[in-house]
Every structure is written in structure tokens, then in C-alpha cells.
Amino acid sequence: MPKIEVSRQDLFKLARMEDPGDEKLADILSLVKGEIDSSEGDWLKLELNDTNRPDLWSVEGVARALRCWNAGAERHLVELPEPDMEIFVDAGLENVRPFVAAFTACGWAPDQKELDALINVQEKLAASFGKNRKTAGAGFYRLDDIEFPVRYRAVSPDTSFVPLGFEREMTLSEILTGTETGRTYAHLLKGADLWPLLEDSGGNVLSFPPVLNSQTTGRVSAGDSRLFCEVTGTNWETVQLSATILACNLQDRGAEISPIRVNYPEPYPGKTVVTPVIFSDLMTASMESIHRVLGVDISPESARKALQRMDYASVEIDGTGGTGGTGITGILPPYRRDGIHAVDMIEDIIISIGLSSFDPLLPKQFTLGRCAPIEDLADAARILLAGAGCEEILRPVLTSREKVTDLTRTPKTPVSIANPMTAEYGVVRNTLLPGLLEVESTSAHAAYPHRIFETGEVLTAAEDGNCRTEILLACLVCGNKADFGDVHSIIGSLCHSRAIRLSLAETDDNRFIPGRCAAISINDRVSGVIGELHPAVLNNWGISRPASAFEIALSALKG
């Protein structure tokens, strides 16, 4: 879970409230699903338990939530001026780091503590939300040192400038190999012939994203009241939301935000975007559903006021609640994109009202719980695989499309999330093999051979347009001599112990070597696939040893 360190003085100044003390603050932090990790003098370390709310990962975000709960909704990024500054994006960045968002913030002169807080949220967003600067990373610059328009260029690795913290010019290649920051983020540009560079119209380099700012424009000091902020990355939504969050934070500090026009070339296709983007996601819920989830009846006006205290941009009571009933329509503030379902808005109502205001109810019926039969079967399979020398892993159900389709070459397309917070968790897995391969890709330090397995849920799209949940079992063996026989012996042992028939039939699957792959039939029913993994798949994951694997529907082991 994200952890942030904040100054008590800064937090309560921004929240416009007196310091209530740690005991009372611990209760108040339920508004942001947070808790005090440690408290020492002026410094608080807070743990935030909502990974879908990157806007809260800063002192400004927590203070905003406390302030709005006490005083009501605020208006963010409204009535911004028309952009009079531009950024032009080169076409050569399409396959490297194609997206950029930017704005200016003037009129707020930070002291050193406030500047440190700004740098902290910049780094937190890049590290957590931006996946260590891969999908998004931000930079701040002195606005008066920049001549517009700015160009986001695709340049040769031989291009040189003076990086931040150095006194001499270095080529981009030298920065990646000769600086600690460069070595840390060099993998983000692996395989690219042209690399990204931000440069103003006077030829001054702003930065080499996502690695280092320049020494000339990229060193921001306390007291600098005219700032330029940019966010670059590989995921459009992550880039835009990061920029919007930073703009809202600076506006909360007292800065005047001015947007910047970003001009994309073909094949984007020649699109112009004004940033920061003002997101306005619409949420609706019927009063009937609100009462059902809360367990108590509240008035529409109470629901409206509760959402206003959660800083919704607007809340309306209307007649769209279904079957002619009353409903609530709310628009999330521009820094939030976590609303997926009506229950998300109802959760905000519950948080605003306060969990302690609800009377707990004891269950009216007494029941005895037990495992579902499929879980008993999974436990039996785990015991047998452990006996075969395999180690169990657990991976998230959500993953990225790249891992499933590009790296693993899975034939079937996974089901996408409608509005994912990040591309890293943009689809629901339809196979367990990418998870096994990802673990194996980070396990080269362990002695070979490696035998790992997982049993877990996947989601597949049915022909009728619906989705179907299924529990699969997958096993992977990797080592200098790992071959078809290794995993065949494991699945054979499983079937023998369950007294069920196992047979194989030749099949084709892009994930496996042609001629070294077979369809698994259990009790004469096709239930999965087995084979030696294709060298291209292993290379995609950076695995240097041969590997073989099988994957079956767990239900096939029922016998």
C-alpha cells in the first residue's frame, strides 16, 4: 500500500483545521482509507489503503479530502485561460514514449518544505502510478528559462546536453551508462533507435525523459514562482491523470494554472490535446440501490450533501433512478477516475456519512461454512504437486494485455477492463502461463531446475457476449534440460493418483514449439495444453533456459 511522509504543519495548514492530535486524526483518516504508520515531531508517515486513488498520495491530496469534508466541495481547474503555449510532438516517438501533457503554474513561491512536498508527490506518482516511470514520469522547470513552443523530439543517442547535477555535456548514451539514474531507467528505452528529448525553440534541452532533467532549466529552487510541468509516458490515461493531479495540487497551493496545447503528428492522427485534461466521469445510482447497500434509508438531500463533502464536481437529484424512482447523478472531480460502478458512488456516501454512524447487526441465521467442492479439488492438486517437487505461486487476476498477448503469445484475447487505472492491470487474465513466466523471469538467481505451479481463476469471453469464470491449473518447469517429458510426468502423476485417463493429441499453439506441443484429454475430453515453450516466448520474458509447461481446467481432475 502507498506510504507518504508529510509535515503536520503543512497538512493542517492546507486542510484549514487545527491539529486534532494523533488519536483523533486516526479516526479522521478513514476518509481517505488511511492510517498513521508513525508519528515523530512534525512528521507523519501515513499508509493509504486505496490503490485506485493516486490523487491521495500526497499531502495536498489528503488535506483536500479533509478540507472538503469539513467545508464542502471545491471547484478545480475551472475557467482556465485559453492556451497560448504549445508543444509539438515528433512522429518518431510513436513506439518509444509517445505521450506528453503539460501546464504552467504561476503565483505560488514554495519554501523548501513545500518544494520537497512537490518533489515527493512527483516521485510517488512516477514510482507507483507510473510504474517506475514507464507509463508516466513528471518533471518541473523554471518557466522563464523556456522559449515556446517546446518540441518533444525523437533524437539519436549521440545527442548531448548537460544533465542535472553535472558540469559537462554528456551524450544520451553516456547518461544511461555513466549515471546512477541512467542505469536505473535504461531498460525503459531498450531496443529503441531514437530516444525522447524535450527541447525549447531556442535549442535549450529541458530533459531526457524519463531519465534526467537538464542542468540549465531543470533545477527548481525554493522561491521559484513560475513553473512549467510536463508528464511523459507510454500510457495516455496515466500521463493525463498524473498531470491533472499535479495541476490540482498546485492550484490548492495557490498557483494559477494555465493549460498548454499539445500537437500530435500522424499517425496519432494529427490530434491536438489541451492539457491538463479536465476529466468529468459521470456516476449514477438509484435511491433504492443506495438504501439496499447502506441498509438504512436516507433522504436524497442527505445523499447529495454526502457526495458534496467528498468533493464531487456536481451532484443532482433526478428522476433517473430506474422504474420511475429517484436517483442521484454525480460528476467526479477532475483528479479522480476510479468510478466504475454505482457501488463506487455509494461507497463515497458511506465514507462521508461515517462507518461509525451505522448500527451493526448480528446475523439472524446460524450457518456452518465449508469449502466449495472445486476448492477441495484444488487443495488435493496442490498436495500432489508439492509432492512432485513443485512450488506454488499466487498472481493477481488482473494483468496487462502486453503480458498476455505480446509476451506470451496467447491465442485468445483477454477481457478488457472498461476504464483501468493503469495499463498494468488493464485486462483480466484468461490463462495462468503469463504469471508463471513472469515469476520465472525474475528467478534466474535460484538454483535450477525450477518447478512452479498455480491454480486460480481466469475469465474468458463466450460467443454470446457474456464472460465465464473458470479455475485452471498450470505448471512450468525450467532448467538446462527441461523438456516435454518433465511436465508430462507431472500431469501423468496427477491423473494416475486421481484414477483418470490421460491422453495426448497433436495440436498447434503459438506459445509452444511446433511438434513439441499437444492437446491434453482427460477421460476422453479435451481439457488443456502441454508442450515445450517457444524460444520466442522465453526471449520475450528474458528467460535463458529451456522451459516446458501445461495448463488444464481444474474441473477435469474430478474424475
- Which residues make Cβ contacts (< 8 Å) with residue 373, sequence separation at least 6? none
In this structure, what DSSP letter does residue 276 have? S
Report the b/e string of 537-551 with b at 16+ CB within 10 A. bbebbebebbbbbbb
pLDDT (0 to 100) of residue 466: 85
Give me the sign of the Cα torsion angle 78, 79, 80, 82. Answer: positive
Q: How far apart are the first and last CA of the chain?
A: 42
Q: Tell me whether residue 441 is exposed, middle or buried, using C-beta atoms within 10 angstroms of its C-beta: 0 to 12, 13 to 18, 19 or more.
A: middle
Do residues 339 and 281 lie in contact, with contact meaning Cβ atoms separated by under 8 Å? yes
Q: Give the type of residue at 96.
A: V
3-state secondary structure of 297: coil
pLDDT tens track for 481-518: 999 999 999 999 999 999 999 999 999 999 999 999 99
Closest CA to 205 of 162, 171, 167: 162
Phi/psi for 298 (5° steps) reads -125, 160
Tell me the DSSP string of 407-433: IS--SSPPEEPSS-SSGGG-EE-S-SH
Do residues 69 and 31 lie in contact, with contact meaning Cβ atoms separated by under 8 Å? yes
Higher pLDDT among residues 128 and 151, named by residue: 151
| Lowest pLDDT segment from 304-318, 414-428, 437-451, 468-482 | 414-428
Other beta carbons within 10 angstroms of residue 533's beta carbon come to 30
pLDDT tens track for 160-177: 999 988 889 999 999 999
Compute the average pLDDT of residues 372-382. Answer: 93
In the predicted model, what is the mean pLDDT of the chain? 92
Please name the residue that has the C-alpha cell 481517505.
32
Tell me the DSSP string of 305-316: HHHHTTT-SEEE
Other beta carbons within 10 angstroms of residue 36's beta carbon come to 14
Distance CA 66, CA 81 (A): 29
Higher pLDDT among residues 252 and 369, named by residue: 252
- Which residues make Cβ contacts (< 8 Å) with residue 252, sequence separation at least 6? 14, 60, 63, 64
The alpha carbon of 365 is separated from its chain's Cα centroid by a whole number of angstroms, namely 40
Q: Give the type of residue at 61.
A: G
Closest CA to 528 of 502, 503, 553: 553
- Which stretches within 72-111 are classed as H helix? none
pTM of the predicted model as reported, rounded to 2 decimal places:
0.76
Length of the chain: 559
pLDDT tens track for 190-213: 888 999 999 999 999 999 999 999
Do residues 529 and 517 lie in contact, with contact meaning Cβ atoms separated by under 8 Å? yes
pLDDT (0 to 100) of residue 363: 82
For 37: left if phi > 0, alpha if psi spans -120 to 50, otherwise beta; the answer is: alpha
Residue 415 bridge partners (DSSP)? 428
Closest CA to 183 of 208, 156, 211: 211
The alpha carbon of 71 is separated from its chain's Cα centroid by a whole number of angstroms, namely 31
Tell me the DSSP string of 12-23: HHHHTS----HH
Do residues 474 and 454 lie in contact, with contact meaning Cβ atoms separated by under 8 Å? yes
Is a pLDDT exceeding 50 seen at residue 322?
no
- Which residues make Cβ contacts (< 8 Å) with residue 206, sequence separation at least 6? 139, 141, 146, 150, 198, 199, 200, 213, 214, 217, 218, 228, 230
Tell me the DSSP string of 330-394: EE--TT-----SHHHHHHHHHHHH-GGGSPP---SS-------HHHHHHHHHHHHHHHTT-EE--
| Lowest pLDDT segment from 27-31, 216-220, 369-373 | 216-220
Compute the average pLDDT of residues 514-523. Answer: 94
For each of the domains in the chain, give its residue range(s) and CATH number, in order of start.
Answer: 3-71 (3.30.56.10), 86-275 (3.50.40.10), 282-355 (3.30.56.10), 373-558 (3.30.930.10)
The alpha carbon of 285 is separated from its chain's Cα centroid by a whole number of angstroms, namely 26
pLDDT tens track for 67-106: 999 988 899 999 999 999 999 999 889 889 999 999 999 9
pLDDT (0 to 100) of residue 91: 87
Is a pLDDT exceeding 70 seen at residue 428?
yes
Compute the average pLDDT of residues 394-405. Answer: 94
Q: Give the type of residue at 148.
A: F
Distance CA 510, CA 551 (A): 14
∠ at Cα 358 (354, 364), nearest 5°?
150
- Cα torsion 490, 492, 495, 499 to 10°: value is -130
- Which stretches within 86-217 are classed as H helix? 112-124, 172-178, 180-185
Instruction: For residue 380, give the C-alpha cell.
Output: 488435493
Instruction: For residue 389, give the C-alpha cell.
Output: 517437487
Q: Tell me whether residue 500 is exposed, middle or buried, using C-beta atoms within 10 angstroms of its C-beta: 0 to 12, 13 to 18, 19 or more.
A: middle
pLDDT (0 to 100) of residue 269: 62
Please name the residue that has the C-alpha cell 495557490.
254
Distance CA 213, CA 211 (A): 7
